[in-house]
Amino acid sequence: MSAVIGQDRAISVLMESLRARRIHHAWIFHGPPGVGKFTTAMAYAALLLDPTTQTTFSGELAPDPDSQVQRLLSAGNHPDLFVVTKEIAAFHDDKKVRDAKRTGISVDVIRQFVLEPALLAPTMRNEGVASKVFIIDEAELMKAQSQNAVLKFLEEPPERVVIVLITSSEERMLPTIRSRCQRVFFSPLSPRGMETWLERGLERRLGQEEVSLSDEERAWLLKFADGSPGVLELAQQGGIFEWWERLRPMLHSMERGGYTVEMGPAMAEMIEGWAKGWVEEHDNASKEAANKAGADWMLRLLAGYWRERLRVAAPLGKTGPYLAAIDAVRAAEPEIDANVNMLFVMEKLSSEMVGVFAEAAAARG
């Protein structure tokens, strides 16, 4: 838990439940992406599964770091911890499931990797608080059938089995699921929390490569991340600051009503390059999911810029074009979800954004 920064309230809820030995069988960890939900879930699972977990001299709960459970967890092969993601479909018994687009979590995945193992006896005999722990990441990606299957599981949970649903879009989950879970909110980090995280991690090492950020990139990433260490790290890895440097003169020209014909193709090219790199670097990654994720980065960049400019324009009473530009960015989301050609979506978005500023410029005469 010491690796989690800025989530004292959430961690306090979990620790109190563990001290009281009143562990709810189902949890929802919700909040913005990249703020420590998954890290906390894994740390909580380590405490639940390990019979050596006890109160230390400092008053904190911790397991023996050299226990068999901790060694297995560190190696990523504890037999009673199940981490379910959309990519796990690549290991399904059914070839049709393996070959399907991995943009969601299907009911077949839930059945094989949650429901069936939950009914089996624990592989390891121990005196831990939980016999099995299931963590479903991006739980909002569960389809309707998947959510209904999980709901039935929550209604009749096996003894000493704990499930943690991690989501950044809690509203996309069934109300009946939410009502049966203990909900824990994870908030964006404060500016000081982000600075602490940077000092601890990214600027010291990222993977196996030393990382040194310029003052300009550091300041931009902190603003872009908006309190999310995970967003900052992925943005740095994915070269989103370089996107900003390339798009900045085009956006400035756009605000003056000028049209840069290469903007749409440039955005589509950056998204395609990001998605290609992600698939190459991550086993079992879905190209369709990577394309959507790359587009999400682009829309986040654009929306963040227009919101910043909106704050500047508000005191001057000139918010109209900025609000319209933000609306245009939002309108692109369903087109991307519908797998419309990315170049077409980005060219249309570029045209719509420049249109609102050109119209405002014409109105000013």
> pLDDT tens across 136-180, in order?
999 999 999 999 999 999 999 888 999 999 999 999 999 999 999
H or E segment to which residue 303 belongs: helix 287-313
∠ CA(319), CA(271), CA(289), 5° rounding? 105
DSSP state, residue 142: B
Contacts of 69 (CB under 8 A, 6+ apart): 46, 49, 50, 51, 52, 63, 78, 124, 126, 128
Q: Amino acid letter at 325?
A: A
Strand-by-strand arrangement of the 81-84 sheet: 81-84, 132-136, 161-167, 26-30, 182-185
Nearest to 64 by CA among 78, 76, 52: 52
Q: Are 107 and 93 in contact (CB under 8 A)?
A: no
How far is 267 from 329, CA to CA, in rounded Å?
13
Give me the pLDDT at residue 250, please.
95
**Terminal-to-terminal C-alpha distance of the chain:** 59
| Dihedral class, residue 21 (left if φ above 0, else alpha if ψ from -120 to 50, else beta) | left
pLDDT < 50 regions, the chain: 203-208
H or E segment to which residue 132 belongs: strand 132-136
Give me the pLDDT at residue 121, please.
76
What's the gap between Cα 34 and its chain centre? 5
Beta-sheet pairing, 61-62 with 54-55: antiparallel
Q: Are 11 and 40 in contact (CB under 8 A)?
A: yes
Give me 130's structure tokens. 């939980």
How far is 29 from 37, CA to CA, in rounded Å?
6
DSSP state, residue 173: S
Angle formed by the axes of helices 68-75 and 37-49, nearest 10°: 150
Contacts of 301 (CB under 8 A, 6+ apart): 224, 240, 243, 244, 247
How far is 228 from 224, CA to CA, in rounded Å?
9
